[in-house]
Amino acid sequence: MKSLIQLLTIAVAIFTATSVAFSQNNVKISIQGTLKDANGAAVDDGTREITFRLYPSSTGSTSSAIWEETANVQVVGGVYSHKLGSVATLLPSYFDTTLYVGIEVDGNELTPRTELTYAPYTLYTGYAGNGTPSGGMIPFAGPAYNVPDGWLVCDGRALSSSQYPTLYAAIGTAWGDGSTGAGATGSTDFNLPDMRGMFLRGWNDGSSNDPDAASRTASASGGNTGDMVGSFQGDQNKSHNHTMNSAGSHSHSYTDSRFDYGGSGNHLAPSGGSEGNKTDSKTTGTSGAHTHTINNSGGSEARPKNVSVVYIIKI
C-alpha cells in the first residue's frame, strides 16, 4: 500500500566505468533506497517486485516514461539495491536531457520522483562523440580490435534495432534489412555499411555527376537501390575507343638510271652520267597491307593510389 511505504532516500551512482558502458552499448546505474512504513519502521525483509522508470518530467502519467524495467529486488533492513539497466537496455543516449526516477512498489508509484544527479549525464557527453551523430562514419587509422568504444566496424554485419535503436533510427535499412550478412538471425533487422575495400562516393541527389545513379543496386538484401544513400555501384571504365587505320597498302615511285652502250641488254650507270644516259620511272608493287594488335595489360582492377583504413560508424 502506498500509505504504508515511503521512499525516504535514493542515492544514484555510476556502476560501470564509462568505457565498459560504451562497449556494451548498455549503461548500468546503481540505485539504492530505503523502504519504511508509515510509522517510520523498516519494512519486512524479503523479495519485492519493484518497477523502475525514467521520466523526462517530475510529474505526469507512467505512460510518459522513456524507459522502464521490473525486477525482483531483495530488501534487507528496509534497504534495497538495484542496477538500472540490468533487465532492460539502458542507452547512453537517454541522458541527453534531465531525467527523473520513478519507483513503483506493490503496484503504486512512490512520490515524488527523484531527479538523477549530474553523473549519468557524463555518459551522454562521451557517447555523443564530441558532436559526432549516431550513424556518422569516419576512417580509423588503427586495427579493428582497437576501435574506440561507442563505434562499430563497418563490416556489413546484421544487427537488431532493439539493441541499437539510436543507430537504427539514423540509418534504417539503407544498407540492408538484416536478413543477410554476418550475425543475421530472425531478430536482426538492419545492416551496417560494408566498407571493406570500398571507396566512398557522394550521394548524387538527382545531379548529373553520377550518370548511372538509377542503376545502382542494394549493398545487401533489402537495402536502398537507385539514387539513394547506401546503394552500391560496381567498378567500371568509361566507354572509349582506340582509332587505328589498318589499311597500309601503298607503293613507292623511283627513277632507274642506266647507260646505253648500244647493242642488246641494259647496263646500269650512275645517275647524271654523260651523253648516252637513259632514265626510266618505275613503281614498286602495292603489297604491305597489315593490322596492329593491342594486347591487354595491367592488374585486376582500375584504382588510384591508396592506403588502407578501417571505416567505423558511431552507435
Last residue of a domain, one of 127, 151, 181: 127
In angstroms, the CA 63 to CA 45 distance is 30
Q: Is 283 or 180 the better-scoring residue by pLDDT?
A: 180
Residue 250 has what pLDDT? 66
Beta-sheet strands, E only, within 15-105: 29-36, 46-55, 67-76, 79-84, 100-105
213-to-191, 198, 241, 273, 301 alpha-carbon distances in Å: 21, 17, 24, 77, 21
Average pLDDT, whole number, for the chain? 80
77 and 188, same domain (yes or no): no
- 84 with 220, same domain: the answer is no
For the chain, the maximum distance between any two Cα atoms, rounded to a whole number of angstroms, is 156
- Predicted pLDDT of residue 16: 33
The average pLDDT across 262-285 equals 58
Residue 253 has a CB neighbour count (10 Å cut-off) of 8
**Domain containing residue 38:** 6-127
| Statement to judge: residues 67 and 116 lie in one domain | yes
Predicted pLDDT at 26:
64
Q: Domain check: are 18 and 117 in the same one?
A: yes
pLDDT given at position 265: 53
Q: What is the mean pLDDT of residues 195-212?
A: 94
Q: Do 88 and 200 lie in a common domain?
A: no
Question: pLDDT for 80-131, tens place per residue?
Answer: 888 888 999 887 778 777 889 999 988 888 888 988 775 555 555 545 555 6
The reply to whether 119 and 137 lie within a common domain is no
Same domain as 66, residue 164: no
Is the domain of 311 the same as that of 195? yes
**Higher confidence at residue 142 or residue 91?**
142
Q: Do 71 and 154 lie in a common domain?
A: no
**pLDDT tens-place string over residues 143-165:** 999 998 889 999 999 999 999 99
- Joined together, the cell numbers standing for residue 229 give 544513400
The pTM of the full predicted model, rounded to 2 decimals, is 0.51
Copy the grid coordinates of residue 195. 566498407
Confidence of residue 33 (pLDDT cuts 50, 70, 90): confident
Last residue of a domain, one of 76, 110, 127: 127
Residues constituting the chain = 315
pLDDT digits (tens, 9 = 90+) for 47-76: 999 999 999 999 999 999 999 999 999 999
Do 93 and 171 sit in the same domain of this protein?
Answer: no
Task: Give the pLDDT band (50/70/90) at residue 237.
Answer: confident
For residue 284, pLDDT beyond 90 = no
Shared domain check, 311 and 165: yes
- State whether 200 and 120 are in the same domain: no
* Cis before 112? omega within 30: yes
Of 127, 143, 172, the residue at which a domain comes to its end is: 127
